[in-house]
Chain A
């Protein structure tokens, strides 16, 4: 029981950090003390002071305001891309697992090929070739990560499909769509949500990496990855303090997503075990 309480406490803590970051990005226009895009060449590279708590960057823009705004674009992009991968993986995985036979064979062969491709390499090349906008980034992320979802879903669907009650539903005259929506989907929900959290953490890092390379969120939109790369290229020696805030924000965001995934996994496993014991 104490273990359960400790887990609850940890879960609440992680959730509140995550919620704080999300709220910060949503309410950025009200929270930021300055306009994150306002250039002031008289105030270049100021160290942290009262008027500018985190100093100013090479163009005299307020770093605190840019940090507050910096999660907006990339977090939205990461959530959208992971949701799209999940959608594609879910549809393909259900088709493969539910239909079985030759359809499953073809889909498995194709996903083997996708799994054999080095994802990050393909992602950089795709975004590099396509036009620089969020559509290309989402496309690249979906192409490189739908397989993770579809494999999981396929396996789970096959497991559920072999249960007796599904056969029973068929005998009672339920349609395929009804079985998938009412019986298969609810059963695979937990695992899909867990996979979503795991993926989201990785996708946040991928988007930050792309922005660092100049292929992700495009300037002047404030973004944590872009802020780090802007500093690293020219002001690494003269103003290294500019690296800290955006970097720590990315770490905090990814860390809380990863911890949430871990805690949820522990929590849901415990529940399954106690059901088994009954």
Chain B
């Protein structure tokens, strides 16, 4: 029962966030500079429109209605999977975005996996040997990772691993996992840095708690105390943090896809930005935003597995 209450509350919280995302996507199309009526007429070849042309197009685009009505119209269409057609090439935007989404998702999820393995692993290692030289070196390294721009790291990795060592491909996705390694590492580097720092700090603060003293007094081994007690108790905040990072990874993938010539959402939206193809940008925000929210939800449900408090009491809001 407590579990159902927890899931229900989580789903309820999602609704305003999803509405916020859709509102943001809708407004992006409205704040764009230029008159949408003139732009639409220009695209069908009418360079010098008459007043009737403009009035007809205004009705066709639904711009004669009030802003809330326009939003509801747009949202209704979007919910039916109709995000309009691209100004360039007249493609169905929803279809194009949905074919590209799995590619971006694949790169982002691999990047997330890298961040979890190296970030959490590094953090545990640092906490286990805190105040030794290894801790100092790893701490410096994680701060460095946090300070490197993703695009520069990507170019650096290409230079070293593709141009000099000829180990990994420079671009594309046609070599399976090998072609995912460099993009995923470049995308996750900053998150590895912050996750490991956060994990270290969190475990160290747990080590000061009374139950650790008890565990030590029981004669448990150092490793058992670290893994079974301190680490387990710091899992919840670490998972929350990693969930938040997924939004950054999705955004950062725009830059990384551009560098590695990966045909995902990012490269699509960049060319749309260059062409001022507003419906594509709106669709991109809607799809990426919704994906982010769903991933966050999945992570929230993960709490059920790691935090018995939620299973028993339903947790706090």
Interface residues of A (CB under 8 A from B): 109, 112-114, 116-126, 128-131, 201, 205, 208-209, 212-215, 225, 228-229, 232, 236-237, 240, 243, 247, 250-251, 254-255, 257-259, 262
Residue A255 contacts which of B20, B147, B163, B258 (CB distance < 8 angstroms)?
B147
Pick from A117, A215, A247: contact of B149, CB under 8 Å? A247
Instruction: Tell me, in angstroms, the Cα distance from A21 to B19 when the chains sit together.
Output: 43
Nearest 3 pairs of A and B residues by beta carbon = A120-B251, A118-B247, A128-B273
Partner pick for A251 among B33, B148, B254, CB 8 A cutoff? B148
A interface: dominant SS: helix
Report yes or no: B285 in contact with A122, Cβ–Cβ below 8 A: yes
A213 to B251, CA, bound (A): 12
> Which of B16, B149, B272, B289 is close to A121, meaning CB atoms less than 8 Å apart?
B289
B17 contacts which chain A residues (CB < 8 A)? 112-113, 116-117
Asked whether B254 lies within 8 Å of A213 as measured between CB atoms, the reply is yes
Which one of A121, A208, A259 lies within 8 Å of B288 (CB-CB)?
Answer: A121
**Is the contact region of chain B dominated by helix, strand, or loop, or is it mixed?**
helix
A124 touches B269 (CB 8 A): yes
A250→B16 contact, CB < 8 A: no
The verdict on A262 contacting B143 (CB below 8 Å), with A125-B269, A205-B149, A212-B149 known, is: yes
Besides A117-B17, A117-B24, A251-B148, 11 other A-B contacts (C-beta < 8 A): A113-B17, A117-B21, A120-B247, A120-B251, A121-B284, A129-B273, A205-B190, A209-B252, A250-B152, A251-B152, A262-B143
Q: Do A125 and B16 have beta carbons less than 8 Å apart? A: no
A255 in contact with B273 (CB, 8 Å): no
**A112 partner, pick from B13, B252, B258, B284, beta carbons under 8 A:** B13
- B298 at interface, CB cutoff 8 A: no
- List, in ascending order, chain B residues with CB within 8 A of A255's CB: 143-144, 147
- The 8 Å CB contact of B147, one of A123, A128, A251, is A251
| Cβ–Cβ contact B251 & A121, under 8 A | yes
| B13, B156, B269: the one within 8 Å of A128 (CB) | B269
CB distance from B272 to the nearest CB of A (A): 8
Q: How far is the CB of B130 from chain A (nearest CB, A)?
A: 14
Proximity string of chain B (183-223) to chain A, C-beta cutoff 8 Å, 1 when within and 0 when not: 00000001000000000000000000000000000000000
State whether B152 touches A125 (Cβ < 8 A): no
A128 CB, min distance to chain B CBs, angstroms: 3
Q: Does B259 lie within 8 Å of A232, measured CB to CB?
A: yes
Complex A-B: 18 CB contacts under 8 Å: A112-B17, A116-B20, A117-B17, A120-B250, A121-B251, A125-B269, A125-B281, A128-B272, A129-B273, A129-B278, A129-B281, A201-B146, A208-B149, A208-B151, A247-B156, A254-B148, A257-B147, A259-B143
Q: Shortest Cβ distance from A21 into chain B, in angstroms?
A: 13
Residues from chain B with Cβ under 8 Å of A122 in the complex: 24, 285, 289
Q: Bound state CA distance, A114 and B13, in angstroms?
A: 13
Q: Known: A213-B270, A251-B149, A258-B146. Contact between A118 and B292, CB under 8 A? A: yes
| Chain B: number of interface residues, binned into ranges | 35 or more
A201, A213, A247: which contacts B152 (Cβ < 8 A)? A247
Given known contacts A125-B269, A201-B147, A215-B273, is B248 in contact with A119 (CB within 8 Å)?
yes
A-contact bits for B154-180, CB 8 A (1 contact / 0 none): 011011000100000000000000000
Q: Is the CB of A124 within 8 A of B251?
A: yes
Q: How far is the CA of A237 from the CA of B293 in the complex (A)?
A: 40
Q: A113-B17, A128-B273, A209-B255 are in contact. Are A118 and B288 (CB under 8 A)?
A: yes
Cα-based distance from A228 to B29 in the complex (angstroms):
31
A228-B152, A243-B155 given; A119·B251 CB < 8 A: yes
Q: Which residues of B, 3-42, contact A by the 8 Å Cβ criterion?
A: 13, 16-17, 19-21, 24, 28-29, 31-33
Q: How far is the CA of A113 from the CA of B22 in the complex (A)?
A: 11
Within 8 A of A (CB), among B254-269: 254-255, 258-259, 269
Name the residue in B28, B152, B288, B289 with the highest tally of chain A Cβ atoms < 10 Å from its Cβ: B152
Decide if A130 touches B33 in the complex (CB within 8 Å): yes
A124's nearest neighbour on chain B, judged by CB, is: B254
The answer to whether B258 touches A213 (Cβ under 8 A) is: yes
Q: How far is the CA of A131 from the CA of B32 in the complex (A)?
A: 8
CB distance from A242 to the nearest CB of B (A): 11
Chain A residues in 8 Å Cβ range of B144: 251, 255
Chain A residues lying within 8 Å of B33, measured Cβ to Cβ, are 130-131
Contact status A129-B24, CB under 8 Å: no
B285 contacts A125, C-beta separation under 8 Å: yes
Q: Chain B's nearest CB lies how many Å from the CB of A264? A: 14
- A232 touching B149 by the CB < 8 A rule? no
Say whether, besides A130-B31, A229-B151, A117 and B20 are in contact (CB < 8 Å).
Answer: yes
Beta-carbon contacts under 8 Å, B268-314 to A: 269-270, 272-274, 278, 281, 284-285, 288-289, 292-293, 296
